[in-house]
Amino acid sequence: MGETANQKLMKKGAEASLYTAYWHGRKVTIKKRLPKKYRLPELDEEIKTHRTARESQLIYEAKRAGVPTPSLYFVDVGNAAIIMEFVEGKQVKQLLGEITEQRRRDICIKIGESVGRIHRCAIVHGDLTTSNMILNPEGKIVFVDFGLGEKSADLESQGVDLHLMKRSLESTHFRFAEKCFLHVIEGYSRIVGSKTAKKIEDRIEEIENRGRYVSERKGRQKSVHN
Amino acid sequence: MSRKDGEHYCLGVESTADDFSIGICTFDGEILTNVTSAYIPAEGGIHPREAARHHSQAASRVLKEALENACIKLRNLSVIAFSQGPGLGPCLRTGATVARTLSFYLGVPLVGVNHCVAHIEIGKLKSGSVDPVTLYVSGGNTLVAAFDSGRYRVFGETLDIPLGNCLDVFAREAGLHQSTDLPFGAIIERLAADGKRLISLPYAVKGMDMSFSGLLTAAASLLRTNQFRIEDLCYSLQETVFSMVTEVTERALAHTEKREVLLTGGVAANKRLESMIQTVAEDHGATFSGVPSQFAVDNGAMIAWTGVLAYLAGVTTPIKESFVNLRWRLEEAEVPWAKLQTRS
């Protein structure tokens, strides 16, 4: 994978570690999947390889679909490492509370448009939280971490994708979560069309109703049998 | 032998699936008895109506044996608890009927208990853990849960069939036969010990959730090709499904930053699964706890003990509101006592 310099651990997750480094003079992020002692080495190898390849593929396809994502520099499947562009900017999670309502609306619409673009290309992100979106200096919102993503055109998986976005807004930005999500759907609808957007909204509601979260089930009659 | 004067006892009835079980415990958490009668179908899986028939035939014998073991009389009981859900309708209703009758006849309070909560509570009691991430794997449930904001929250779970069910159906497909002493899980574990070759099976972790049905179909169709040793298939099946639940457990552990891991449910008896969970606990500097087998499988004692916790926290279930709830999710259950425990 060539020389990297000044490698520094940025974040240690349950599945992978993120490092910043310099690679051929560029500032990069290296995402490296860690071996898991609990599983057999051959299974571990298979899972890491598969996920590294899939994540790289999704980052690339999302970019082709018109969604800003980090540029891939090197995919080292054997070492389960992805070397990609270091994205400058601020996490949407950090700035959403500090800006005007108008600005918030614009950002949420942009996010919705991007989600619409990847869904239109059968890509599900899998972890649409505002910490996985970075506002870069050019004013673009870059989607990062496709580690839980998959290729799917199913209404169900796309519904779950947006449902998770809604949940994450509610847990981190509860004061304006509802409005923000409406704007996300507004942007989404611009890309996929109002008919598809309506279908997704209905599905999200269905997911919430059957879902595991108590707050969303409040007011619903408990299903009792005797 | 007779018990101390003035001691309070709770009797718990468990009947969510194939086991009918009655346990009796003191209000201090001493388990006096735990008697189970298992329904083992001649072939195929659990037929709910047949299982319920077994339960109603076994009920009086199990009750009598439990009272004898505990050296107490019916009139010494202060509370009757029962498993109110989730589970199979006819089975739940049989247990509920036994519990309602006892409560009404004795004039003592009735407490409806969530089966999944009971697994966690007896696990905590028996292992001494206080606030664990729990992996509960059985023939009826597969979930990773932890206490957060007043309830046991599910961090990950199966999207289709439970892990134990996946193993059972595979064993049946392979023409294996289980008995009371040697359930399918144990047979698979033995065969897997002689496995040498890892056969690739679909590994399906989606975010925090898992899917086992596609994997089962794949394993069963490989079996039918007759090109693989059954030992290798059992080995590969175990390694794959256990790695999946361990991965989800690890994520929950990293997310919640809890310091304890509890492994329970019928599948917890598997030593390979235990060693995987133990490894992950160590990696995160958490304490691993298992649960003695008779309290890890479905049992009446866990219902009795959870009944005590609920009763002492002021929760009772009037008979006319004691409907069983087939799909009672873990996080729908109120656990007002759990907060007090975790704070200490």
Q: Is A76 on the interface with B (CB under 8 A)?
A: no
pLDDT at A8 over 70: yes
Per residue in B183-204, pLDDT (tens digit) is: 999 999 999 999 999 999 999 9
**pLDDT confidence band for A47 (50 / 70 / 90):** very high
CA–CA separation, A41 and A37 (whole Å): 8
pLDDT at A220 over 70: no
Mean pLDDT of B39-50: 91
Instruction: Enter the CATH code of domain B9-120+297-343.
Output: 3.30.420.40
Instruction: Enter the CATH code of domain B126-294.
Output: 3.30.420.40
Q: Among B167, B169, B296, B297, which residue's Cα sits nearest to residue B239?
A: B167
CA–CA separation, B83 and B301 (whole Å): 11
Interface contact flag, B324 A226, Cβ < 8 Å: yes
Q: How many CB atoms lie within 10 A of CB A178?
A: 12
CA–CA separation, A155 and B202 (whole Å): 22
Query: Over chain A, what is the mean pLDDT?
Result: 89
Interface contact flag, B239 A13, Cβ < 8 Å: no
pLDDT at B215 over 80: yes
Q: How many CB atoms lie within 10 A of CB B92?
A: 30
pLDDT of A216 reads 40
pLDDT of B180 reads 80
Q: Is A218 on the interface with B (CB under 8 A)?
A: no
Interface contact flag, A212 B154, Cβ < 8 Å: yes
Q: How far is B218 from chain A (nearest CA, A)?
A: 17
Q: Give B257's contacts in chain A (Cβ within 8 Å).
A: none
Q: Is A38 on the interface with B (CB under 8 A)?
A: yes
Which residue among A38, A126, A212 sits closest to B329, beta carbon to beta carbon?
Answer: A212
Q: Do B277 and B246 form a contact (C-beta atoms < 8 A)?
A: yes
pLDDT of B15 reads 98
Among A17, A37, A38, A218, pick the best mutation site for testing chain B contact (most B Cβ within 10 A). Answer: A38
Interface contact flag, B251 A217, Cβ < 8 Å: no
pLDDT at A202 over 70: yes
**pLDDT confidence band for A208 (50 / 70 / 90):** confident
**Please, is B130 exposed, middle or buried when counting C-beta atoms within 10 Å of its C-beta (0-12, 13-18, 19+)?**
middle
| Fold match flag (A8-85 vs A90-217) | no
| Class for the domain spanning A90-217 | mainly alpha
- Following DSSP, what letter does each residue of B215-240 receive, concatenated? HHHHHHHHHHTT-S-HHHHHHHHHHH
pLDDT of A44 reads 96
Query: Residue B86: is the preceding peptide bond cis (ω within 30°)?
Result: yes
pLDDT at B28 over 50: yes
pLDDT of A224 reads 37
Instruction: Place domain A8-85 in its CATH homologous superfamily.
Output: Phosphorylase Kinase; domain 1 (3.30.200.20)
**Chain B residue with minimal CA distance to A157?**
B206
CA–CA separation, B158 and B141 (whole Å): 8
Interface contact flag, A225 B325, Cβ < 8 Å: yes
Q: Is B200 on the interface with A (CB under 8 A)?
A: yes
pLDDT at A9 over 70: yes
Q: Give A36's contacts in chain B (Cβ within 8 Å).
A: 243, 246-247, 250
Interface contact flag, B240 A214, Cβ < 8 Å: no
- Phi, then psi, of B40 in degrees rounded to 5: -115, 110
Interface contact flag, A223 B326, Cβ < 8 Å: yes
pLDDT at A32 over 70: yes
**pLDDT confidence band for B343 (50 / 70 / 90):** very low
| Fold match flag (B9-120+297-343 vs B126-294) | yes
pLDDT at B2 over 60: no
Q: Among B213, B206, B203, which residue's Cα sits nearest to residue B160?
A: B213
**Chain A residue with minimal CA distance to B320?**
A226
Interface contact flag, B323 A225, Cβ < 8 Å: yes
Q: Among B61, B51, B128, which residue's Cα sits nearest to residue B90?
A: B51
Q: Is B250 on the interface with A (CB under 8 A)?
A: yes
Q: Do A59 and A44 form a contact (C-beta atoms < 8 A)?
A: no
H or E element that contains A49: helix A41-64
Mean pLDDT of B310-314: 97
> Range with the lowest mean pLDDT among A4-8, A157-161, B107-111, B170-174?
A4-8
pTM confidence score? 0.87
Which residue among B247, B251, B331 sits closest to A212, beta carbon to beta carbon?
Answer: B331
pLDDT at B78 over 80: yes
Interface contact flag, A43 B280, Cβ < 8 Å: no
Per residue in B222-245, pLDDT (tens digit) is: 999 999 999 999 999 999 999 999
pLDDT of B69 reads 97
**pLDDT confidence band for B340 (50 / 70 / 90):** low
B133-137 and B260-264 strand pairing: parallel
Could you tell me the residue ranges of all domains in chain B?
Answer: 9-120+297-343, 126-294
Q: Among A169, A166, A152, A171, which residue's Cα sits nearest to residue A207?
A: A166
**Please, is A195 exposed, middle or buried when counting C-beta atoms within 10 Å of its C-beta (0-12, 13-18, 19+)?**
exposed
Among A17, A37, A39, A163, pick the best mutation site for testing chain B contact (most B Cβ within 10 A). Answer: A39
Q: Is A47 on the interface with B (CB under 8 A)?
A: yes
pLDDT of A210 reads 62
- DSSP 8-state symbol, A6: E
Which residue among A38, A148, A225 sits closest to B89, beta carbon to beta carbon?
Answer: A225
Mean pLDDT of B171-183: 91
Q: Is B332 on the interface with A (CB under 8 A)?
A: yes
Q: Is B99 on the interface with A (CB under 8 A)?
A: no
- DSSP 8-state symbol, B158: B
Could you tell me the residue ranges of all domains in chain A?
Answer: 8-85, 90-217
Annotate B58-81 with three-state secondary structure: HHHHHHHHHHHHHCCCHHHEEEEE
Mean pLDDT of B319-327: 96
